């Protein structure tokens, strides 16, 4: 979506408990599956090119050592250092390269070593230089919750391991410890030394990465539009949390204004500026996400679920669900889970001495 901001954050600001309550409530609305697709060991010059992601998929790249430069539509070329994580909620085509400027990078050709990925291509050539180790994967969302999550996130989220001005491209060993650091370390260890069950372990660690990255984003000094802006706004945070916890309540603009201690016009203006949607649209998307969860996890009738999430009639629920998901509630319930069996990541390993 054009015009969405990019988040660039220092993840050592600790989130407030109320922020975490809202994130916990939002993240509980739908299944999120994490997949680590590739573990890349790269010597420059190298390029990773990835096309547009499939629906309901959000790519991520985590730099474990060395550095990289991210390039994508609407994103200024951005250097990523060890410990930095790039999330792409937009799913836009993008490139990750070893540096912003350099010799033309071609796929194949002389002195090249190319690896193809399911979602893109990795091209490297044997040239002495600093090695970069990177984990590349994606988050996969259920149909019902995807539109809510996507509408509450910007096109790009960049979580920094170090505050601005302290990034020097080193391996990050002296960076302050954090849960996200430790999680990434565990993912690297599991991919370094595969043991029984490691593919399933990597899958769960990858899913946890999404929540920890959002947690790290909550307390940014300049909160962007969306989920993180709501979590950072004291009055809107309380309102959003109540809506998520009780979507079936008969929410009126007057009731919401009273909770936020705002007039009708102020609430609509402030909520739109923070969330990028009206309060009524937020209520609808939360209701549909919760309905999608109930359809998958319970045996309640479609009509009972519609009533539970705030719809006065089955017809109204059916229309709203179809409008938000392009599926009827019955079709959503019958659809196979988007989750796939856990599989081991691919290894993209570059050794200049062995390239030929």
Structural domains of the chain sorted by starting position, each given as residue range(s) with its CATH number in brackets: 6-223 (2.60.120.10), 233-334 (1.10.10.60)
- Backbone region of residue 91 per phi and psi (left: phi > 0; alpha: psi in -120 to 50; beta: other values): left
The token pair that represents 42 in the structure block: 């790269």
| Signed CA dihedral, 262, 268, 270, 271: sign only | positive
Compute the average pLDDT of residues 182-203: 84
167-186: string of b/e by CB count within 10 Å (b at 16+)?
beeebbeebeebebbebbee
Quote the percentage of the chain above a pLDDT of 70.
73
Compute the average pLDDT of residues 201-207: 86
Q: What is the mean pLDDT of the chain?
A: 78
Instruction: Give the Cβ contact number of residue 83 at 10 Å.
Output: 24
| Higher pLDDT, residue 333 or 345 | 333
Cα separation, 109 vs 343, whole angstroms: 31
Res. 10: pLDDT tops 50: no
- Backbone region of residue 214 per phi and psi (left: phi > 0; alpha: psi in -120 to 50; beta: other values): alpha
The pLDDT of residue 7: 45
Q: Which of 199, 153, 215 has the alpha carbon at shortest distance from 20?
A: 215
The pLDDT of residue 267: 96
Compute the average pLDDT of residues 21-37: 81
Rg of the Cα trace of the chain?
A: 22
Q: Report whether the peptide linkage leading into residue 45 is cis, meaning its omega lies within 30 degrees of zero.
A: yes
Confidence of residue 269 (pLDDT cuts 50, 70, 90): very high
The pLDDT of residue 222: 41
Query: What are 298-316's pLDDT values in tens digits?
Result: 999 999 999 999 999 999 9
Res. 113: pLDDT tops 50: no
Give the range among 9-13, 144-148, 223-227, 289-293 with minimum mean pLDDT. Answer: 9-13
Confidence of residue 177 (pLDDT cuts 50, 70, 90): very low
Cα separation, 90 vs 204, whole angstroms: 23
Confidence of residue 29 (pLDDT cuts 50, 70, 90): confident
Cα separation, 308 vs 16, whole angstroms: 31
The pLDDT of residue 208: 87
Quote the percentage of the chain above a pLDDT of 90.
38
Confidence of residue 128 (pLDDT cuts 50, 70, 90): low
The pLDDT of residue 347: 53
Compute the average pLDDT of residues 63-77: 93
The pLDDT of residue 146: 83
Residues 6+ apart with CB under 8 A from 218: 15, 16, 19, 20, 23, 228, 231, 232
The pLDDT of residue 314: 96
The pLDDT of residue 105: 43
Res. 97: pLDDT tops 90: yes
Res. 342: pLDDT tops 70: no
Res. 281: pLDDT tops 90: yes
What pTM did the predictor assign? 0.74
Res. 109: pLDDT tops 50: no
* Cβ atoms of residues 350 and 134 within 8 Å: no
Res. 196: pLDDT tops 80: yes
The token pair that represents 223 in the structure block: 């909160």
The pLDDT of residue 112: 38
Res. 162: pLDDT tops 70: no
Compute the average pLDDT of residues 11-20: 42
For tokens 């060890």, name the residue: 82
């Amino acid at each position: 979506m054009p015009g969405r901001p990019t988040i660039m954050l220092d993840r050592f600001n600790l989130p407030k408990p109320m922020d975490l309550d809202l994130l916990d409530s939002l993240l509980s609305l739908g299944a999120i599956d994490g997949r680590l697709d590739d573990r890349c060991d790269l010597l420059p010059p190298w390029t990773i090119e990835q096309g547009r992601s499939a629906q309901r998929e959000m790519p991520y790249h985590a730099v474990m050592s060395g550095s990289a430069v991210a390039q994508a539509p609407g994103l200024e070329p951005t250097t990523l250092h060890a410990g930095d994580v790039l999330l792409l909620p937009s799913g836009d085509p993008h490139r990750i390269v070893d540096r912003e400027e350099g010799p033309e990078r071609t796929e194949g050709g002389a002195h090249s070593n190319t690896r193809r990925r399911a979602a893109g291509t990795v091209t490297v050539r044997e040239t002495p230089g600093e090695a970069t180790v990177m984990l590349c994967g994606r988050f996969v969302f259920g149909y019902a919750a995807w539109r809510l999550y996507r509408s509450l996130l910007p096109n790009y989220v960049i979580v920094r391991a170090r505050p601005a001005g302290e990034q020097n491209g080193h391996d990050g060993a002296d960076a302050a410890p954090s849960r996200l650091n430790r999680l990434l370390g565990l993912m690297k260890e599991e991919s370094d030394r595969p043991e029984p069950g490691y593919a399933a372990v990597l899958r769960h660690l990858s899913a946890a990465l999404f929540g920890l990255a959002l947690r790290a984003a909550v307390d940014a000094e300049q909160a962007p539009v969306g989920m993180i802006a709501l979590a950072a706004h004291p009055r809107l945070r309380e309102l959003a949390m109540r809506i998520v916890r009780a979507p079936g309540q008969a929410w009126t603009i007057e009731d919401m204004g009273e909770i936020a201690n705002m007039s009708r016009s102020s609430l609509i203006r402030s909520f739109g500026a923070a969330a990028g949607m009206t309060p009524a649209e937020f209520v609808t998307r939360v209701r549909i996400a919760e309905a999608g969860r109930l359809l998958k996890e319970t045996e309640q009738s479609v009509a009972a679920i519609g009533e539970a999430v705030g719809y006065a009639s089955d017809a109204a629920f059916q229309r709203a669900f179809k409008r938000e998901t392009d599926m009827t509630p019955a079709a959503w319930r019958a659809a196979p889970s988007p989750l796939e069996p856990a599989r081991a990541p691919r290894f993209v390993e570059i050794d200049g001495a062995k390239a030929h």
